[in-house]
Amino acid sequence: MESANQTYAGFVSLVKWGTIASVVLAAIVVLLISS
């Protein structure tokens, strides 16, 4: 069960960073399109 908790924590951090990266990428694309 310990390894499952570590996997879940890694998954959560991956989703968190993925979301941040997506937001940043979307903002850059919007800036490029609007300029």
Amino acid symbol at 2:
E
pLDDT of 22:
98
State whether residue 23 is helix, strand or coil: helix
Spatial distance between the Cα atoms of 5 and 11, rounded to a whole number of angstroms: 10
Q: How far is CA 16 from the centre of its chain?
A: 4
pLDDT of 19:
98
**1-35: pLDDT as tens digits:** 678 888 999 999 999 999 999 999 999 999 999 98
Spatial distance between the Cα atoms of 21 and 3, rounded to a whole number of angstroms: 27
Spatial distance between the Cα atoms of 30 and 3, rounded to a whole number of angstroms: 40
